Every structure is written in structure tokens, then in C-alpha cells.
Structure 1
Amino acid sequence: MVYDYDLLVIGAGSGGVRCARIAAEQGAKVAIVEKQHWGGTCVNIGCVPKKLMMMASGFGDEAKLSQGFGWSNQRGEHHWKALIEAKNNEVERLNQVYLSTLRKAGVHIYTGSASFKDPHTLQICKSSLSPEYFETKCVSSERIVIATGSLPTLPDIEGNTLGITSDQAFYLSERPKRVLIVGAGYIGIEFSGIFKGLGSTVDLVYRQKLPLRGFDEDLRQALYDGITQRGITQHNECKPLNVLKRADKYIVHLDNGKKIETDCVFFATGRHPNSKGLNLSTVGVNLSSKGQIFVNNEFETNVPHIYAIGDVIDKINLTPVAIAQGHALAERLFAGSQRHNAYAMTPKAVFFYPPLSSTGLTEEEAVKEGEIEIYQTQFTPMRFAFSSSKFKTFIKMIVDKKTQKVIGLHIMGIDAPEMMQGFAVAIAAGLTKYGFDQTIGIHPSSAEELVSLRQITRVAKKV
């Protein structure tokens, strides 16, 4: 068979773009199809604009902190529209960067909606955003990669369509004075901090006892305390029953009997794989009931020449993981490489104020593997020395007692993600606690505490 392409990628998010570019640089004939967002969710309606908005929300706090150091400036009024305009301009610039990168690599670009016509052929329907004119095209490829990401999930309650998700939050024409956020995962926590930092009153509703399910329990407790200290009202161990509209306000009834009036209801209730509409049943690709595409360790579906990467496989749903998967897959297919990444030690960050970051195992996971030693500390960093806002930095290190390898690290505090990226390399490489102890700290810094932990807080093992 002669195909139009050696590789065709569906979805131009970070993972899909990396896969297409690396394959093209290895000499493959490559095409990529994207319906709307060049750069995907992360660049357009995800981590990049979210961090820009998080940074905006923190500047007011920094101005207030500076007064303790002798500055006389007063915290001024924030202009939401100016922020959104600046964010939109940056996102558009990044869109063009992604397109330019693909074109320079020799990747053929299609803007449209793709679906399978047969196992090697995609039907591409023209999008209104397409720079080239076509109604419908059919293109064939020897190999096809699905990198279509994920979409927000709405809760199954009355009035769910009255709320917004993160997709709409980035384009609100005005900042709501009162926001009720449902969900305490990455998105719920980060946007609660953004809106609060910019001046909104925020209610945070979630089902668990503590926020950020899946993170270390002590880190979750530190975050719970930090959320309250930030001035956000938490409604834990409950969920919304319905959302009602009353004039220009919304009424949310919770299952604990409380009723909350707000100007905006924001659902941060998870995401689901974006596999609907690809016509995968035609080619027999196996899916879960939620739309997750099943793959093996080489990102192969049950159909040998069809692959999937990123959020659509619903494993570790982080942008750098999708990029690593796309890079590894392209090199394996076209460069004979056996590139692999240390996914078990994937570092994570949640951009609250202050932010938090983790790598490796939680205490709850580690004790299932064997006996562990816990090193833990909490302190007020110098940034808050002259302020009434005494946000604490929390650090927890988990060490395998037998091997003395550091197998988990959890930090909440200013610059936590920046600190974690460097230490994640050491942990992924298998550094022992002795290696940390040998390292000279940078003084004065919060990061020096990581190489100064000497006293074991406790020893734990599986009961």
C-alpha cells in the first residue's frame, strides 16, 4: 500500500505537536490535524493562561508584603479586562509559535475535525478556522496517533448548564464578585486562588475531607490550612444538589442543608478523555465506558498501527507527560530509539498561593512498599517576616529505611515548583538521604531546608 503520509497525528496539543515534529525531523512524511486550538488545552485554556492569571492574582499580595519592607505603595484596583486582553495576546503568540515550529519541521497542517473512515484513512471536515479552503478531505497514513486530550466534565445535577468550566473562565468579560467553585482538584484549587487574589469572594465546595485527593495527606492538610488562611470559605464533605437562577444571581443548594448565593458557579469536577466523534468503533479501537483509549507501554492500541498519547489515554494527565510520550513514540517509530521516562517519579505542581509540589510516593503509598522514615518541617520563610500573613512553608521527605533512597518529596511554599524540579532529578536518579545530607545548602533560602533535614519525625510501616 502507498499512503499519503508515514504518520498522521490527530490533535495539536503539546504531545501531538512534539510527536509530529520529532517524526518529521527523523525524515518521516507527517501531517497533523487540529480542530481549533494550536498548542492544545494547555496553551489556550489550561496551564499557560492559568499560570499567567495566577501570577496576576499574586501581585496584589506582593504589593501588600512590600509595605512591611518599607515601601509606601498601596494595593491598587485590578483591571480584569486588561489581564484578559494581555493573556489573549500571549496565547495567540504561542499559537503562531506552534504553527511555525510545525511548518519549519516540514509537517503538513490541516485545520478541521478528523474521524476514521477506515483503519488507515481519516476524513477531515473543514473548520471555519482553516486557512485553506476545502469541504471534506480523505487522507491516508501508514501510522496514526490519537492525541485529542480531554474535556471538562459537568456533574449530573439540576442546573449544571448554568455554571461555567475552565474553558469559559479564561474568557469572562468581567470578574464575578462572588464565585462558588465545585471541586478541589488542580483546577478548583488554582482558580479559587486566582479569583480570591484578584478580589472575589470565593466558596469552595468539595466531597472529600481534605482538598487534592491523591496527594500526600500531610500536604493536603497544609493546603487545607492555607486555603482558610487565604480567606476562602471551604465547604468540605458535601456536594451541590442543584443550581437555580434568581434574577442575575445563582442559588446553590448543598446536600448538608446549606444554601449559597453567588454570581458565578464554576464546575471543576474533573475531565474526561476526548475520544467521541473520532468514529473509533469503525476501526475497532478499544475504549473504556468513559472514552479512555487503552494502550500498552509502547502507546499502541489494540489496532497495531494506531497509537494514542496524552490525556486521551487517561493515565498521568499532565502536559510534560504528554510531551514525553509523544517524543518517545516518534523516536521509537522513526529513529529506532528505546527512549523511556521515569513516569513513577513524575513531579507535579499546583499553582495556589503559595504553590505546592510533589514527586515520588505519598506516605500512604510508601508504607505499602516497606518500612519508611519521615522527615518533616514547617517554618515561616523570610518573605513573610514583616507581614501579618504568616504563610508557612511545609516540607516532607519520605525515605526507604532499608535502601535509604528518597522515594517521596512534598513541598508547599513560595517557589515550591522551582525547587522541586531540581530535586526531582535527584530522586528519579535514586539519590539516598546521605546524598542530600552531603550537599551544602544555599543560605538563606527555603531550599536549604531540604539538605538540612536530620531528625526523623517518625518511622512508619504497613500495618
Structure 2
Amino acid sequence: MADFDYDLFVIGGGSGGVRAARVAAATGARVALAEDSRMGGTCVIRGCVPKKLMVFASAYREGFADARAYGWDVTEGDFDWARFSGTLNAELDRLEGVYRKLLQGSKVEIFDLRARLADPHTVALSDGRSVTAKHILVATGGHPVRPDLPNAHLGMVSDDIFHMARLPRSILIVGGGYIACEFACILNGLGVEVTQFYRGAQILRGFDDEARGLIADMMQERGVALHLGTNIVEMAAATADHMDLPTEERMGAPADAPPAATSGATSGPIWVKGSNGLEGVYDAVLFATGRAPNTRDMGLEEAGVQIGRRGEIVVDQYSQTSVPSVYAIGDVTNRVNLTPVAIREGMAFVETVFRGNLTPVDHELIPSAVFTQPEFGTVGLSEEEAREREPVEIYCTSFRPMQSAFAGRPDRVLMKLVVSKATRRVLGCHIVAPQAGEMIQLAGIAVKMGATKEDFDRTVAVHPTMAEELVTMKSPVRTA
């Protein structure tokens, strides 16, 4: 290894890259890491963390009404975006500092520079220097994709949301995946008039049909104007003629609405015509229409690294690319694009390469959550996926939870188990409810261990809770 400057060079300072660098350094390896943006990557800086803080902020609007229903004498004030975003940015600065201290404490050398492959063992830095490494780990993540549409530059992408100077009074969100739905709920909760276009028949494609149907219903109940089977036909900067549209046709900001100053989008109202014939003028448009791996201009293909049709780095079960010295983890591989998965992939890489213990990455039965309102927690197979594989029994219940029912809200929750008829194993668990993310983490342990429906049945319920329904459903609602 002495023939190289480093034993490991990591390109990318997100959660996966930082964890891999630190764990590798703990083995005694000489490690360096390059990041040309902020340390912490998508999750910490422009994804999971700021988004979840926005979820918390947006939930207080209903909380005020609920408090009054429970006897508290409280008044609802206005949301101060500037105050919140200032605190948010201070928290992100703090977390970035934590990441840097962790790397420094692990004796990982940091390069605040862009890095690309020059050859299988050489990394070229943007300041003109080159360094060599026995192993190179690419963990550059992904980026939001702007659609190929005339005047698409007028709209924002998810990275821009956190840099808005002020909240728009109205917004059109284009997309039906978890990012689109989460921000629709967040902004609606913060008082923004939200319209959502999705070209598909139902939001959250790929998730359990019954669960995503309930979420769509609840989003509309809370005030999100959801238009399914709809896409943008035209968009342009709004003119005086657009402002004269009848109110019922505009679906957007009033004529006197101030422009929403945003980063990454042209300031000022935007006129949009949908494929359903409706026209609207909005303070802002957010495209949440997918993400792509950060592989462009990385020198990967020139070095011999195979790139897939979606721009992802192709890797084997050990995260090794077609070039033996180059590995890749996280969203840049487009396997399971979740932060905890990237971290697990980084740790498996270190175990394989630096500890000599061949460790394939386990992508089976990964619990996850969608932070809509209500939340959606899921692990394992959807009902639709399970039915295609084997005969199953479906245990499901939907009801009004005690807390919101007392407050007079129409919210409903859903608890669902997908069970194999042959083995009795719980193949999937799906929860739509407040704090579903917290519940699915624990349910995920049972499903991962191979728990049967009878194991759930033997577990005593915690009463009164929403989650007790997971262990009290005795008869299947249907079989397939």
C-alpha cells in the first residue's frame, strides 16, 4: 500500500461516504475524502433533516385547533418563514460542523474540492493536484431532475425549497412520488395554497394501493388540490392577461400576491396550463419529477467503470464496480436510495475490503417512511406484490384514532398485514397514521426476523394505542 498516497479515497461527503471513511480509518487505513459542496450530503443539507424539521413546523397548525378542542385557550398566529429558516440554517451549519469534526477525529484528510477519476487508482482534484489510492469509493449521491419542458427553468426543484426568501402564497407541485407528496403536505400545513399535478392514476406509485389511496384522500381532506392523470402542457411567466383569468380558472395566487423570491427559479407569478384543460397562476412551481445519480463528468467511463442506462454506477453485491479498485455506494448506484442504506453499504464495503470479511449488502425487508400527513410506514411486500408471488391473507383495519376523533377531525388511519398462507410469515406491514415512521421501525424488526401472524397474535396489545390493532386483527378481510 505504500505505493499509493492513500489506502482509500472517498469521493463524496454524504452520510454513506463519511461513514465509510471513518470506519475504514478505524482499521488503520490512510483515508482521504473530497467534497465540493457542504459536508453532510443530500440527507443532512438538502433532504431528510431539513425536510423533517419542516414537517414538524407544518404540523403545528392542526395542533392549535386540536389544543382548543382539548380545552386549551390558545390562538393561532402567523407562521414566520424567515424566523424558521434562520433557525433551520443554523441547525444545518451545526450538523455540518459535527460531520467535519467526526472526520477530523478519525484522522481522515478532507479536501474541499471537486474530485474525479483520472484512472483506476488516481483522483484528479479541481485545484490541479492529483492523488493516488489503492481503493477509490464513489459516494456522490444524486440530484433532482428538471423536466424537459419549455420554460421549466421558471420552476424550482427540491433543493431550492430550503433557500426560499419567503413562502409563496400558492404553489403548483408536479409529481406524485414521496418528495412531491411530502412537500405538498408540508407547504399546505404552513398555509400555502397547494395544487398538485400527477400524470399517474394514483400518487406514491409502487407502494401499497390501499395505503396510498388513503393518503391521497387525507391530503385532499386537508386542502391539497390533487389532480391525477394531469401534467403540464404549457408554462410561462404570467402576464397581465393571465392575471385577468376568472378566479375559478386560476387555481393560484390572487392578482395582488407578492412574488415568491426563490433560489433556482425565476421570481414572479407563473402561468401553467394542465393537460386537463385547467389554467392557473402560481407564485411558484416545484418539480418533484425524479432524481438522477451524480455521475456526469466524473471520469468514470474513461476509467472503465460501467454506467447503467439511468446514469447509475453498476456494482455487484459487494459494491464493487467493473474496475476492481473502484467501489460505489449510495444513491449514485440507484439501488435503494435511502440514507440508512447508504450507511449500511459503506460499512459492508469496509468489512469486505479492509477487514477481509466478504459482506454482501442486504437490501431485503428495508423499513421506510413517507412523511406525508398522515405519515406512511412500510416494510416488506405490498398486497399487490405479494398476490403475484403466492397465496396470501390480508388483515386490515381503518378507523378514526382517538386523539383526532375527540378533536372533531375526520382523519383515518390504516393498519395492514400481508400474510403468507403457506408459511404464515408476515410478508408486509403497512401503517398510515401519525408517527407511522416510529411504529414501522419496530414492526420492521419482527418482519425481518420472520415473525408469523401467530407471533403477532401472541403479543399482548398496548392499550389504548393505534398500534395495538397490529396484534388484535384476528380474521382476514380477504384472501388472494
TM-score, normalised to structure 1's length?
0.96
What is residue 198 of structure 1 aligned with on the other side? 190
1:143 counterpart (135, 138, 163) = 135
Any gaps of 5 or more consecutive residues in structure 2? 240-267
Contact 2:172–2:195 at 8 Å: present in 1 too? yes
Q: Distance in 1 between matches of 2:213 and 2:327?
A: 39
Amino acid at match of 2:435: D
What is residue 130 of structure 1 aligned with on the other side? none
RMSD, matched Cα: 1.1
- Spell out, residue by residue over 1:4-42, the C-alpha distance to the aligned partner (whole angstroms, 9 max, x if none): 011111001011111111101111111111011201011
What is residue 453 of structure 1 aligned with on the other side? 473
2:302 counterpart (256, 277, 282) = 282
Contact 2:318–2:359 at 8 Å: present in 1 too? no
Any gaps of 5 or more consecutive residues in structure 1? 126-134
What is residue 98 of structure 2 aligned with on the other side? 97
Contact 1:203–1:232 at 8 Å: present in 2 too? yes
- Spell out, residue by residue over 1:63-106, the C-alpha distance to the aligned partner (whole angstroms, 9 max, x if none): 11111110110211110001111110110000011011111111
Deviation at 1:341, TM superposition (A): 5.4
Q: Distance in 2 between matches of 1:106 and 1:89?
A: 26
Q: Distance in 2 between matches of 1:219 and 1:369?
A: 20
What is residue 245 of structure 1 aligned with on the other side? 237
Q: 1:156-305, aligned counterparts within 5 Å?
A: 156-247=148-239, 248-305=268-325
Query: Identity of counterpart residues, as a percentage?
Result: 41
What is residue 61 of structure 2 aligned with on the other side? 60
Q: Distance in 2 between matches of 1:281 and 1:117?
A: 10
Deviation at 1:342, TM superposition (A): 4.2
Q: Distance in 1 between matches of 2:448 and 2:359?
A: 15
Amino acid at match of 1:387: A
Contact 1:179–1:265 at 8 Å: present in 2 too? yes
Deviation at 1:385, TM superposition (A): 2.4
Deviation at 1:288, TM superposition (A): 2.0
Deviation at 1:289, TM superposition (A): 3.3
Amino acid at match of 1:33: A
What is residue 406 of structure 2 aligned with on the other side? 386
Contact 1:188–1:268 at 8 Å: present in 2 too? yes
Contact 2:317–2:360 at 8 Å: present in 1 too? no
Deviation at 1:225, TM superposition (A): 0.7
Deviation at 1:312, TM superposition (A): 0.6
Contact 1:160–1:242 at 8 Å: present in 2 too? no
Deviation at 1:444, TM superposition (A): 0.7
Aligned residues: 451
SS in 1 for 2:188: helix
Q: Distance in 1 between matches of 2:203 and 2:310?
A: 24
2:40 maps to 1:39 = yes
What is residue 12 of structure 2 aligned with on the other side? 11
Deviation at 1:281, TM superposition (A): 2.2
Q: Distance in 2 between matches of 1:407 and 1:341?
A: 20
Q: Distance in 1 between matches of 2:354 and 2:316?
A: 19
1:441 counterpart (443, 456, 461) = 461
Q: Distance in 1 between matches of 2:290 and 2:209?
A: 20
- Spell out, residue by residue over 1:139-194, the C-alpha distance to the aligned partner (whole angstroms, 9 max, x if none): 10000011000011011111110000111110100000001000011110110011
Taking structure 1 as reference, are residues 140 and 344 closer, same or farther at Cα in structure 2, changes over 3 Å only? same
Q: Distance in 1 between matches of 2:200 and 2:408?
A: 30
Amino acid at match of 2:409: S
- Spell out, residue by residue over 1:279-334, the C-alpha distance to the aligned partner (whole angstroms, 9 max, x if none): 11221111123311101111111101100110011111111111110111111111
